Structures are given as C-alpha cells and as structure tokens.
A = this chain, B = another copy of it.
C-alpha cells in the first residue's frame, strides 16, 4: 500500500541501509548518494512508518502524562505547556486521567500506557513511593508535584511552603488575623496541601498570631468544595477575616459563596488562592494568588525526562528541581486592606 523504504531504495538504486542512513542523518554518506535518496523520497512521497520504527528501536517518542483530571484549569494549563515543550523537542504527550484512582495509577506505571511511552511524567495522588519503586521498570519517570519526595525519584515541583508563607504574610500585613484555610488534607503531610498548610503555620508563628484549628477546613480541591467549605464555616459561626484557598478554584468557589451571602470581598473578608490560573486575573474581584512558575515547571520537567530517556543525564542521582514563585497581588486581597 504505502511507499516503503524498499521502494525508495529501488528508485534510488541503493540498498535499504543507505536509505536508513540518510533518514537517520548518518554522517558519512557521499553527497551524490544522499541527494539521489532524498530525490526518491520526495518523488515517491515516502513517509517513515513510525510503528515499524518503534518496534525495531524500542522507542516511541511519546511521553506519558498521568494526572487526575484534565478539565481542572491548573492541569489543563500545565498539560498544554508540557505538550508544547515536548513538541519543540520532537516528542508527543499522551495523557492519562487517573481520577485519583489508585488502580489507574498502577496501570500507568506498568501496563500498556507505559509500553506506549518512552518516559512518564507522573502526579501520584494515591500510591506511595514504595509501590512506585516496586513497579517502576527501567523507563525513566519524573514526578510532578510533591506528593512524594523520595531520593529514588526525579521530581520537579514548586516552592509550596515558601510561597504559602509569603502569601499568608501578605494577608497578615494587610491586618488580617483570622485566616481560614480551605482545602486542607489532614491525612497527608508531604502533599501540596500539607506543604502549603505548613507555610501558613510558619507565617503565623513568625507574626506571633496563634493557630486556630477551627479555621482549617478540609476538603477536596474542586470549585464546589470551596463554596461548601465557606458555607460550613459561616453556618458554624466561625469568625474569619480572610480565606486562603489552597488552590485557585477553591478560592474562587469560596469567593462566590461569600459574595452570594453578601459578605464583601475584600472589605469583610480577603480571599487568596494558589496557582494563578488564567481565570484568577479576570475574576471579580480579581484574585490575589501565587504564580508557581508553571512555564518553568513544564520546561524543566520535559527537559529532564527527555535527558533521561536519551541518556544525557547521569544515572544514580535523582534530581529535585524547585521552580521559583511570585506573589500576584490583586483586588481580592490588596496590599493595604
């Protein structure tokens, strides 16, 4: 059916190997030979069969990306950037949504998904370091996020603690003293939720403001959870003058609930988030938040993974990369409030 290397070889009057050499940019080919092959390729409209190449070489030039849900704005924006970064380097990204299901995470580590990709970018939400290590296999893996900080694995992450502390300090500087935290995950300390909560506590300590557990609302990280959590605090009679949503959609959900109930933002309650998704800038009021260096995270995690795949990175030592962050002060929690 399709034009094969054999057809090209015949048309150019050379052997298969010579065609392969031209395709793979082998150095030592006589210019005349090379030209003849290239002409034949152009004339016949030959395109290399990627599947055959993969079968023989064992490489697919695809990277796997495992995350919980592509429709969450933070992940959508991250995935988009990761795909562009990969594309610039000649790779594609195949996405797997885990829905935070352990079974899916496991399968991504060793099933067909692994087979289809040369390396994995993985945001583990359920399974732990030992489980990963046990199923890992030999293909490279780079962890994204901070659910697992382990010397065995490469990790690209953000300054969760520092950034949360800076944001909390900003709220305190604005005169806020009772800062509710939405989206805590009590069972977990190494995850983003835990690290951000730690940063919050650290900032309180440094300012000499007592920590009040009543202000900490545990919940999942979707928009509606943020609204429900604030409703819970208000209905429970908890007093607060600021809300720190551990991510932006939580903060936006919380802000919506406050406004519905006639609580003025930021006068009565300041609101801040984490992620700086596109929407944060255009919310009403616009959302004060942390920009966690998403572009840097995308660029460096793709770079690291491909370096591992192509063997450019020394083995044995795992890399732990932290992107820089920046405070984005906007209307929902202005400088002086």
Contacts and interface: CB of A to CB of B under 8 A. Distances in A.
A52 interface: yes
Nearest to A227: B282
A266 interface: no
Interface string A311-332: 0000000000000000000000
B97 A94 contact: no
For the complex, would chain A's binding face be called helix, strand, loop or mixed by DSSP majority? Answer: helix
Copies of this chain in its oligomeric complex:
2
B47 A51 contact: no
A112 to B, nearest CB: 6
- Pick from A51, A111, A278 the residue with the most CB of B within 10 Å: A51
B71 A60 contact: no
Contact of A71 (B51, B259, B278, B281): B278
A173 interface: no
B50 A52 contact: no
A191 B5 CA distance: 41
A337 interface: no
Interface string A265-285: 000000000000011011111
A95 B71 contact: no
Contact of A55 (B52, B81, B92, B260): B52
Contact of A259 (B97, B253, B279, B284): B284
Contact of A97 (B52, B60, B80): B80
Contacts of A115: 47, 49-51
B83 A282 contact: no
Interface of A: 47, 49-52, 54-55, 60, 62, 69-71, 73, 76-77, 79-81, 83-84, 92-95, 97, 111-113, 115-116, 223-224, 227, 252-253, 255-256, 259-260, 278-279, 281-286
21 contacts: A47-B112, A51-B54, A51-B55, A51-B115, A69-B80, A70-B80, A71-B79, A80-B97, A83-B97, A84-B97, A92-B113, A92-B116, A93-B95, A95-B95, A223-B278, A223-B279, A223-B281, A223-B282, A224-B282, A255-B284, A259-B285
